[in-house]
Structure 1
Amino acid sequence: MGPKIKFRKQKKYRSDVIATAQASGFILQFWNGLLVGDDITVISIIDDPEYAYLIDAIYDTSNIEEWKNFRFNYRGLRLWSLTYEQELTTPLHITAGRGFTECLRHLLLRGARVDLAPGGNTALHEACEECQPECAKLLLQYGANANATNEDGQMPLHVCTELDSLECAKHLLAFGALINSQSLDENDTPLHVAARHGLPGHVELYLQHGAALNLQNDEGNTPLNAACSQPQDCTSLQRYSRVCHMLVAAGADVQASDADKQTPLHMACKNANPDVVDLLLKHKALVNEMDYGGDAPMHNILKVVAYKTDHEPERIVQALLNYGSIRVWPGALPKVLKYCCTSPRTIEVLFNAYDRLKITDAWVEAVPPEVFQKHREFYESLFALAQTPRSLQHLARHRLRAFLEGRLHWVIPKLGLPTFLKNYIMLAFKDHMH
C-alpha cells in the first residue's frame, strides 16, 4: 500500500510540473508575440478562457533572464518578482510603446484596462513617449485619460519630447488634454517642455491652442527661459532659434528672470546661440542686467568661448558690444586672451572696443604655441601693437562708438553711410588688428 500511495503522489506531482511547464510555455509564447507584434499568436492565447487573464497581466521585466529560463511567480492575476527594483509592464504598454496597432486593438477589444499603470506610466504615456501616434489615437478612442498623471507627475503631453511626437500631441489635444496642465514636480506646462526640447512644431501647436506664454515653473522659468537655458549643439541651434522667435512673436517677456535672476539673454549667451541673442537684443533685452552671481550676459559668453567656437561666439560678443554692453576691465584682458584665444574673432571684436591696448610679454605667453601657429597672421598683428599705436581710423571709430554708446544699433543704419564704413563702425571682422 505504501508504494502505491508514494507512486500516486509522485504521479500527481509530475502532472503538476507538466501543467506548470505548459502554462509557462504559453505565457512565454504570449510574451514573445507581444514583443514582435504577432497578433495571431496573441489572439489565439488570450481567446482561450484559461489564459484570458493575460490581457491585464502585470509583468516584471527587471530580470529578463527569468523569462528566458521559464521561472515565473504567480500571485492572483499578476506575475511578480521579489526583486527590490521592479520594472512593471502590461501587454497594453508593450504593444502601445512598440507601435503594434493591431495587437493593441485586439487587446482593447477584449477589455484590456486602458488606464492601468503598474509601472507608473499608462499605456498612453508609453505611446506618446515612444512617438507612436496611431497607438495613442487608438487608446484615446477607447477611453484613455488624456490627462492621466504618471509617477513623475507628468501628463501625456509632458512626455511628448521628441520631434516625432507632434502627431501624438495633436491627438491628445483633440481628446481633451489640458494645454496649460502643470507637472506635479516642476510645475512645467507642455509649452515649457516643448520649448526646453526645441520643438518648433509643438510650440506652434500649443500657441494655437492658447498656451500660457509667461507662466513660470518652480525654478522661475517661463517657456522662453526654458528654451534659452537648454544646452544646444550646433545641429540644434536653428531649432531653438525658431522656437524663441515664435515665443517672442507671440508676446513672451524677454525680461523675465528665473530664481537666480538670469534672463533669457543670460541663458542664450551661456549656450552661445547668436541668432537668439540677436532676437532678444532687438526686442529690448537688458544688455547689462546682472544675475545673483554678479554676471552680465557678456560674462556668460566669455566663459564658454573655448567650448563653443563652432557656435560663432564672436557674433554674440559683437552684438552685445553694439548694444552697449559693459566691457572687460583692461587688466583682465590677458586672462580673457588665455581662455578665448582659440576664437581669434572673439579676441578681435572684444579688443577693438578699446582705444589702446597695453600689450606685454604676458599676452604672448597666454596664447599656446599650437594656437599661435594655427592663427599666426592674426596673433602677429595683435602682438605688433606692442610697439605700434592704434590707427587713426580705429581711434575715430572708438570715439564715435563712445559717443553713440547704447544707440549704435538704431542710429548707424539711419546715417546713410557706405556699407563698408557702417560695418567697420559696428566692429565687422577683418581677421587682423590694426
Structure 2
Amino acid sequence: MTASPTGRPNVDHPQNQTRLLQKAVAEADTKAIARVRANITQRPNTSDEDIATRELTEWEAMRVVAREHGFAEWFALARHVGEGNELPPEGTLASLVEAVEEPDPSTVQAILAEYPHLVHARFYSEHDTGDTLLHRADPGLRLPENDQGWSLDDGTTDAHLKVTGILIDYGADVNATGGSGNTTGETPIGAAGWAGNLRMCQLLLDRGADPNHVSDWGFDALGTITDHKKTDIFKAMVAAGARYEPRHILQCSMKDQLVETLDREPDRLEELIDLGHFDGENGTLIHVAVEEGLEDVVALLLNRGADVQAIDNRGRTPLHRALNPGHAKRPETVINMLIDYGARIDIRAAIGLGDAARVTQLLDEDPSIITTRGTGGMTLLHFAAEYNQPELARMLLERGAAKDIVSDAGDTPFDLASRRGHHVVADILRAGCG
C-alpha cells in the first residue's frame, strides 16, 4: 500500500488499479473482463466483446476494485484507508473464499485475524444484493441437485461448521440476505434449509439466527424449509421459536398435528392464507394440499368439510390447481377425489381435463363465454394453450375464438403454447393466425 507524507496508507494504489483495469478491459483482456463480470451485477450474461467495446467507466472500475478488496463500494474502501488501515494484498479475498469453501479453518482464521473487514465481503456476480461468505460456507449449496433443483445431500463436515463458527466470531451477519442461484434472496439459514442441511441450520440457530427473520427479498426461512418438506429442520426451527401456520404443518405432511390444529381452530380450514413466499398467492389449505400433491392430506381436508369450490386470489378452485400443467406428473387421484366431492367442472376445468363434450355443452349454453377474459386476462384459447389441448384449441378457433388477445402477462395463446413447449398447439395457433 502506498503511504502518504504522514506515513498513513492512502488510496493511490487502488486508484492506479482502476486505471489499469479500464485499460485492460479496453484491450479485451480476458482476465480483466472476468473481473468485471464477477463484480458488476448488471452484466452477468453479456459477452466478452460487449464488455470490451462498451467503455468501462471510472466509477465502474472503482466499484470492481473496491469489491475485490472486500468493500461494497469505493467510498467504504476510501474510508477504511483513511482510518489508517491497510488493504489486503491482491488475491487475498479470493484466497479467503477458497478457504471457506474448501473448507480450511486455519487459513480462514489467519486471513480474518489480519483483515477482519473481509468477513463482510459480498459477491455480486448474480444480483445487486450480493452473496456472503456465510452462504458460501454451506457445502449443500454446491452439491448435485435433483430434477426439481433441490440439493440431494448436505455434505457437511465438522470443518464446514468450524469455518461457519469462525465467520460468526468475526462478525458475519447470521441474518444477512444473500445466496445465489436457487437460494438468491435467502438468509444463511434459509439457504441451508433449502439444501436440507440440518447441522448447519442448528449451528446458525445456536449462534443467534432469528428463525422468524424475513430477508430483504421478503423470504422467510420457514417457508423455504416447508416448501421443500424438510420436516427435521422445521422441528428444529419451531424448537428455536419459529412461528408457524397450519400450511407449514400441512406441507411437512404432519397429519396428526394438522388435525390437532383444526380441532382447536376449525376456522383455519377455510381462511385465506399465503400459499408460499415465492408465490405471493392466497388460497385455503386445500389449495396448498392440492398444489403439493398430498393425496392423504387432500382426503383429510375433504372429509373435514373443506370447500371444494374455494377460490384463491387468482380465481382458481382446487380443481384448477390440480390441473396446473406445472405439475411434474398429473395428480389423477387428487383430480378424481375433488370431482367425487362435487368440484364443479366449469369451462376452464373442462379444457384442462380435455373434456370436449363438456366444453361443447358449455359453449352451446352460452356462446358469449368464448370471448370471456378470466384469470390473468386469459381467454379460453389461452387455457387450451396452457393445458396443451390441441383439439380443443382447434375447436375454439373454428368457433371464432380471438387468436391475438394478449393476457395481463403480455402473452398471446401462441406465445403461451410456445413457451411451455406445447408445439402441436402452437402449430395450430400459428396456422389459425394465417
Q: TM-score range by the shorter chain?
A: 0.3 to 0.5
Larger C-alpha radius of gyration, 1 or 2?
1
TM-score, normalising length: structure 1: 0.48
